[in-house]
Amino acid sequence: MVELVHYEKKLTEDEYTEFEKLFSAKLPLSFKEHYIRINGGFLAEEDVENDLWGLPVGGFNPIKYGKVTIEQLVSDIESIENPDTGEEYQEGEYVPFAYDDGGHTIFISLKEGDYGHIYLYDCDGESFFQISEKFEKFISRLYKN
């Protein structure tokens, strides 16, 4: 199970339900379970030094109660475009929930064609690639076995 440090105040079920209303579809249950358990957070320095992380994730954005929340990111980013295909993800069709070591956005798609897929997006539009097909697979790949 992923353990993070410096996470934000725990979310209530009501807060999560209100958050989910911002989007075009319900978020995957595994996403909800993760955020109800731990609202954002960073990798423990000891885990990084011991090379325990399987993916280059810098941390998770909190849904609320933090400096850079998911709610804020959704309104700041507005849309995301895949430079290879031209496909756009409009506000409400994606959830930016984490970032890599370079500060690039990691988001989950809520679009019908790729619902639940996890992507890495460089806000400069130079990088866009799929990391995982499901949130639970993404979480399971975070720690090296």
Per-residue pLDDT of the chain (145 residues; tens, 9 = 90+): 567 888 999 999 999 999 999 998 999 999 999 999 999 998 877 776 776 666 778 899 999 999 999 999 988 887 888 877 888 888 899 999 999 888 889 999 999 999 999 999 877 766 788 999 999 999 888 766 5
pLDDT at 144: 62
CA distance linking residue 118 with residue 114, whole number of Å: 9
Do 142 and 57 touch, CB atoms closer than 8 A? yes
Residue 103 sits at the vertex; the CA angle it makes with 97 and 105, to the nearest 5 degrees, is 35
What tokens were used for 96? Answer: 């930016």
106 inside domain: yes
Contact yes or no for 123/105 (Cβ under 8 A): yes
Counted domains in the chain: 1
Task: Tell me whether residue 18 is in a domain.
Answer: yes
pLDDT score, position 3: 75
Q: How many residues make up the chain in this entry?
A: 145
* pLDDT reported for residue 32: 97
Question: What per-residue confidence (pLDDT) applies to 1?
Answer: 52
- C-alpha neighbours within 13 Å on the C-beta side of residue 2: 30
In a domain, 6, yes or no: no
Does 111 map to a domain?
yes
**Is residue 49 in some structural domain?**
yes
d(CA 62, CA 70): 6
User: What is the C-alpha to C-alpha distance for residues 71 and 39, in angstroms, rounded to an integer?
Assistant: 13
What pLDDT, on the 0 to 100 scale, is given for residue 53?
Answer: 65
Q: Which helix (H) or strand (E) holds 143?
A: none
β-pair partners for 53: 143
Number of other CB atoms surrounding residue 134 within 10 Å: 16
**Is 7 within the bounds of a domain?**
no
Give the pLDDT score at 135: 94
Tell whether 55 is covered by a domain.
yes
Distance in angstroms (rounded) separating the CA atoms of residues 5 and 9 = 12
pTM confidence score: 0.88
The boundaries of the domain holding residue 59 are 13-142
